[in-house]
Amino acid sequence: MKDDEQIMDTFNSTDRLEALDSVVVRFAGDSGDGMQLTGSQFTTSTALAGNDLSTFPDFPAEIRAPAGTTFGVSAFQINFGSDTVLTAGDDPDVLVAMNPAALKVNLETVREGGMVVIDTGAFSTRNLQKAGFDTNPLETPLLDPYRVLKFDISKLTLESVKDFGLSNKEALRCKNMWTLGLMLWMFSRPRAAVIKWLETKFAKVPNIRDANIAALNAGHAFGDTSELGASFKRYRVDRAQAQPGEYRTVTGSQSLAWGIAAAGQLAELPIMFGSYPITPASPLLHELSRMKEFGVMTFQAEDEIAAICSAIGASFAGSLGVTSSSGPGIALKSEALGLAISTELPLLVVNSQRGGPSTGLPTKTEQSDLYQAVYGRNGDAPLPVIASSTPGDCFEVAIEATRLALKYMTPVMLLTDGYIANAAEPWKLPDMADFPSIAVKQKDRPDEDGPFNAYSRDPETLARPWAVPGTPGLEHRIGGIEKSTETGHISYDPANHQRMSDLRADKINRIAQDIPEQSVAYGTDSGKLAVVGWGSTFGPIDQAVRRARAEGLDVSHIHIRHIHPFPANLGALLARYDRVIVAEMNMGQLITVLRDRFLLDARSVTKVSGQPFKIRELLDVIHEELNTAISKAAE
Amino acid sequence: MNKPVGHLTAKDFASDQEVRWCPGCGDYAILKCMQRTLPELGATPANTVFVSGIGCSSRFPYYMATYGFHTIHGRAPAVATGVKLANPDLDVWLITGDGDGLSIGGNHLMHTLRRNVDLNILLFNNEIYGLTKGQYSPTSRAGTRSPSTPYGSLDRPLDPAAFALGSGARFVARTIDTAQKHMPEIFKRAHAHKGASFVEIFQNCIVYNDGVFNDFTEKSVLADRTLNVRHGEPMIFGKNRDKGLVFDQKTFKLKVATIGEDGISESDILVHDETNSTLAHLLATLSPPDFPMVIGVIYCAPSSSYERDMTAQMEAVKAEHGAPDINAYLRRGYTWTVE
Ligand SMILES: Cc1ncc(C[n+]2csc(CCOP(=O)(O)OP(=O)(O)O)c2C)c(N)n1
Ligand code: SF4
Ligand SMILES: [Mg+2]
């Protein structure tokens, strides 16, 4: 494509380029400023430039909060580098603040000496007031610790698009593209992908399309031609070393949806996905709704109870029922989950966790539904719980969860969270040919001997047969009342209830023999200290442990995917470390379960501020723990 | 062994489970009627599914030799929707009570009717919570004395048929547990209707609410206090077939007129049109003593059903896309290769 040539960045000798290993950029603006789009387009360009990356979209809770207010600030953070990047980064090196509120909310996160890019055009008296600034911060020492780039982006944008006949309001909407153009210049990223994206997105409105492209190019040209001050340097972040293969960027919601569809293909089963919208679980519903060609039926039910019940009904009738929600919705589903456990039907339940209790922090991430997943039902109601740890990981975890649900005839709870759901990372594309098919045994005819017992069991897995309505000779009734182990009919016999409860527990416990042994994510399989995590804390824990080991510290990272049952070797593995830290984004839930199972003496490190762990926070804890270990030993 | 369809009898639809309702409960008559009617519908046990919630009435599936799912309180409409979405070819009957379907499950019932899922919904209305020992229900008349309302209930009851019509049901009918000739007819009509069929059955709970419907179901008053509507026939009732419904244009209401009085002749009596939703709304809200209780098919106006529309949409998308290929799907959009 000839245009690509022109748009690809070329470095000439007059460029002052500073090479960096990694950079954290945070785009922040009003909800209406299009920061999420700007961020995701910057992400695509960064991925195409060959960096490893990780992103963190930080949405406000309000959809359209009053413009200019601090609670309407929307931010998108990206960390990219030439080395492995597993988190969205601790403190931004560069903050783009599109208005005073964005500056107010985000400035304190910027590292000292970092760069702040400001649209002075948005710093009107009114906007300053709305953001709660008494004086204009551009005229106070507030910004002294930072390198500040300020220009009237609003005005420059208006100039760049004046030929396209847009209203003032429409023209100002191109501000984000102008800014993106400048940032792409600053980090030497190509513009081609963004232009292609704009061409498709605005194909039907040519003047908007052309104006946005013009704004993008103008922002880029501004960097190229203007005098940004003698000390100003552009940055270069070299390509990351990555395993050979084909890559794309992916969010957790995407890879989870694709994993569910893939699982359906591997099991050769239609999927019935019943769901009810809730943040941050809705993107999964949206993604799957577009996948009908894979036999994925989506049903937006009237509430979460109907959503899970429809999925249970579908599983009874021979499909794979799947349902998804976030904490409050999972709470509503819990009675029906008990029914699925009692009727022993396959079912996949996804919980995209958010801050709680109650409505809590809908747009902020947390891992506080672990108790709910493991323990949160009436009666003794065990089910497998499995957690994904990164956006890309969701794909495999969805397939694994489906395998367990079908093989053991049980609902399975898959835990993910708001961070994983929305964050993007480069993902090495899997090849479906590498996944074994998932064997499904639907009974198709009665046995020769005696009447059909829907609660007879496979001696190895203890799973009951799946007999689907429509099959002659296998007519049977199931329900939530206790069933006789002998006949499958209703039974109120106390001894039978004991047997059934034992069977339900045994069946799930046996899964421990059918899942991979717990491995060490980084480090050694014994030593002074293990940091144990689960779910989306993978990135910060791994980075912190890598840094600590680089300093020569004896610390390893263990990340648990199978939370119930635990892998068979987990207890023995943990016992091989002198000390164990359990880091999680709740008030200490996994640690309770670990103590319960293994009488483990561990230190709990928790955080529920709605933001992921910072690498530094965990590194500090590791230092502290190993220092005390040293001083204790010295005593 | 499986008998061919034409040779099935009521016995082939009766399970070997001991029926556990109180002796004299109206549920027995409904069960017998269902077991007798299914063979006449050409149904097979393998292809028939009974889904129920929780309540005395919801034990129904255990007594049928078909597929059955006794689910949780109020949620049977959602489970049945899932069954039907997964396999539209199954014949799905939904059994619910006045508490199950209109109290805890009112929301699901409303949406299932609105979506027009092809289910045959039988609501056993005994105006009481039977299974939990006799508390008043959303259909209990105001003033009902029950363990939870010793001084009489205060809330006004809900009319199931009017609720169904208000929810957008395309088929609404009523019958009585003791009407062993009428009930099979209604089951057949409900079964023939594609889309959600809603049938309210007045069912006597002999233990906790005995005789609540006696004001119109007792033999001595049945003819005078019930009106069995039939499409295309004048709405005449009474022992002497001399009463009928007329429309009062001044009040916009129905009125009972006597044939032979005030110059009224048979031709003045309104003819039932089961496709007329306005008439259906008027009929559903009539009640004794001023009016007869209307039984029969009050409303029937078929429209496409949800699960068929869903399947058609899926098939259309599949046809457009050709063979599904996850590998190709994952590789749409921007990808790059690391050598
Ligand atoms: C979640 C839940 N809440 C309450 C109950 C207790 N319960 C069982 S049946 C019932 C009412 C049943 O009344 P109805 O639906 O009219 O059925 P009937 O017994 O009269 O046939 C109640 C409240 C329950 N089983 N589950
Ligand atoms: S309590 Fe009433 S409804 Fe329930 S079985 Fe007994 S008579 Fe029938
Ligand atoms: Mg009742």
pLDDT digits (tens, 9 = 90+) for B10-28: 999 999 999 999 999 999 9
pLDDT value at residue A8: 35
A133-150 pLDDT tens trace: 999 999 999 999 999 999
**Is the model's pLDDT at B283 over the cut of 90?**
yes
**SS3 of B47, please?**
coil
Q: Where does ligand 2 bind, in terms of residues with CB under 6 Å?
A: B 21-22, 25, 27, 56, 126, 130, 205-208
A493-528 pLDDT tens trace: 999 999 999 999 999 999 999 999 999 999 999 999
B137 lines ligand 1 (CB under 6 A): yes
Compute how many other C-beta atoms are within 10 angstroms of the C-beta atom of residue A38.
Answer: 22
Nearest C-alpha in B relative to A320? B86
B154 CA distance to ligand 1 centroid (A)?
Answer: 20
Tell me which of A255, A310, A341, A478 to substitute to probe the interface with B (most B C-beta atoms closer than 10 Å). A310
The answer to whether A48 and B334 are in contact (CB under 8 A) is yes
pLDDT value at residue A449: 82
A303 CA distance to ligand 1 centroid (A)?
Answer: 20
Q: Is the bond into A565 cis (omega within 30 degrees of 0)?
A: yes
Chain A residues whose CB is inside 8 A of the B87 CB are 317-318, 468-470
pLDDT value at residue B1: 46
Nearest to B80 by CA among B53, B104, B107: B53
For the residues of B164-202, what is the DSSP string, one character each? HHHTT-SEEEEEETT-TTHHHHHHHHHHHSSS-EEEEEE
Nearest to B203 by CA among B115, B126, B266: B126
B243 lines ligand 1 (CB under 6 A): no
B85 vs A272: CB contact, 8 Å cut-off? yes
The answer to whether B201 and B176 are in contact (CB under 8 A) is yes
The answer to whether A462 and A404 are in contact (CB under 8 A) is no
Q: Give me the percent of chain A exceeding a pLDDT of 70.
A: 95
**Is the model's pLDDT at A14 over the cut of 50?**
no
CA of B27, closest atom in ligand 2: 8
Strand partners, A28: A75, A97
Q: Residue A442 and residue B87: Cα distance in Å, rounded?
A: 15
The answer to whether A33 and A74 are in contact (CB under 8 A) is yes
Kindly report the average pLDDT of chain B as a whole number: 96
- A448 interface with B at CB cutoff 8 Å: no
Strand partners, B51: B69, B94
Nearest C-alpha in B relative to A482? B70
pLDDT value at residue A200: 92
For the residues of A106-160, what is the DSSP string, one character each? HGGGSPTT-EEEEEGGG--HHHHHHTT-SS-GGGSGGGTTSEEEEE-HHHHHHHH
Q: Residue A20 — very low, low, confident or very high, per pLDDT cuts 50/70/90? A: confident
Chain A residues whose CB is inside 8 A of the B44 CB are 472
A334 CA distance to ligand 2 centroid (A)?
Answer: 29
The answer to whether A156 and A226 are in contact (CB under 8 A) is no
CA of B103, closest atom in ligand 1: 15
Q: Residue A397 and residue A414: Cα distance in Å, rounded?
A: 8
CA distance B146 to chain A (A): 27
Which one of B80, B110, B334 has the shortest CB-CB distance to A44? B334
CA of B134, closest atom in ligand 2: 1
A459-492 pLDDT tens trace: 999 999 999 999 999 999 999 999 999 999 999 9
B124 lines ligand 1 (CB under 6 A): yes
The secondary structure of A419-457, three-state, reads HHHHCEEEEECCCHHHCCCCCCCEECCCCCCCCCCCCCC
Please list, in sequence order, all residues whose beta carbon lies within 8 angstroms of the beta carbon of residue A155, skipping any fewer than 6 positions away.
Answer: A121
Strand partners, A603: A581
Chain B residues whose CB is inside 8 A of the A469 CB are 46-47, 49, 67, 83, 87, 90
The answer to whether A476 and B67 are in contact (CB under 8 A) is yes
B100 lines ligand 1 (CB under 6 A): yes
- A576 interface with B at CB cutoff 8 Å: no
Tell me the pTM: 0.92
Which one of B85, B321, B330 has the shortest CB-CB distance to A299? B85
Alpha-carbon dihedral A324, A325, A327, A331, rounded to 10 degrees:
-80
In Å, the largest CA–CA distance within chain A is 91
The answer to whether A215 and A247 are in contact (CB under 8 A) is no
Please list, in sequence order, all residues whose beta carbon lies within 8 angstroms of the beta carbon of residue A510, skipping any fewer than 6 positions away.
Answer: A408, A461, A462
CA distance A328 to chain B (A): 18
B85 vs A262: CB contact, 8 Å cut-off? no
pLDDT value at residue A4: 36
- A490 interface with B at CB cutoff 8 Å: yes
pLDDT value at residue A49: 87
B154-208 pLDDT tens trace: 999 999 999 999 999 999 999 999 999 999 999 999 999 999 999 999 999 999 9
Give all strands (DSSP E) within A159-295, no chain letters: 234-237, 245-251, 271-275
Please list, in sequence order, all residues whose beta carbon lies within 8 angstroms of the beta carbon of residue A517, skipping any fewer than 6 positions away.
Answer: A567, A568, A569
A248 vs B334: CB contact, 8 Å cut-off? yes
Q: Residue B328 and residue B316: Cα distance in Å, rounded?
A: 20
- Ligand closest to CA A378: 1
The answer to whether A60 and A72 are in contact (CB under 8 A) is yes
B45 lines ligand 1 (CB under 6 A): no
Q: Residue A610 — very low, low, confident or very high, per pLDDT cuts 50/70/90? A: confident
Q: Which of residues 250-269 of A touch B (CB under 8 A)?
A: 258, 261-262, 265
- A293 interface with B at CB cutoff 8 Å: yes
How many beta-carbon pairs below 8 A join chains A and B? 209
Is beta strand B67-70 parallel, antiparallel or unpaired with respect to B48-52?
parallel
R_g of chain B computed on alpha carbons? 23
Q: Residue A327 and residue A331: Cα distance in Å, rounded?
A: 6
Most informative mutation of B129, B133, B137, B206 for ligand 1 (most atoms within 8 A of CB): B129
A309 vs B78: CB contact, 8 Å cut-off? yes
B22 lines ligand 1 (CB under 6 A): no
Strand partners, B293: B226
Nearest CA to ligand 2 atom 5: B21
What's the angle, vertex CA A186, arms to CA A181 and CA A187, rounded to 5?
100
Place of tokens 């966790």: A353
B207 CA distance to ligand 2 centroid (A)?
Answer: 6
pLDDT value at residue A240: 85
The count of C-alpha atoms lying within 13 angstroms of the C-alpha of B16, restricted to the half-sphere facing its C-beta, is 7
Compute how many other C-beta atoms are within 10 angstroms of the C-beta atom of residue A410.
Answer: 25
pLDDT value at residue A223: 86
A382-436 pLDDT tens trace: 999 999 999 999 999 999 999 999 999 999 999 999 999 999 899 999 999 999 9
Chain A residues whose CB is inside 8 A of the B68 CB are 476-479
Q: Which two tokens stand for residue B282?
A: 């008027």
Q: Residue B229 and residue B206: Cα distance in Å, rounded?
A: 28
CA distance B293 to chain A (A): 33
Q: Which two tokens stand for residue A187?
A: 């980090």
Q: Residue A235 — very low, low, confident or very high, per pLDDT cuts 50/70/90? A: confident
For the residues of B298-339, what is the DSSP string, one character each? EEE-----HHHHHHHHHHHHHHHH-S--HHHHHTSS--EEE-
Alpha-carbon dihedral A557, A561, A565, A570, rounded to 10 degrees:
-20
pLDDT value at residue A120: 95
Tell me which of B44, B85, B114 to substitute to probe the interface with A (most A C-beta atoms closer than 10 Å). B85
pLDDT value at residue A628: 66
Nearest to A544 by CA among A575, A526, A522: A522
For the residues of B11-39, what is the DSSP string, one character each? GGGB-SSPP-SPTT-THHHHHHHHHHHHH
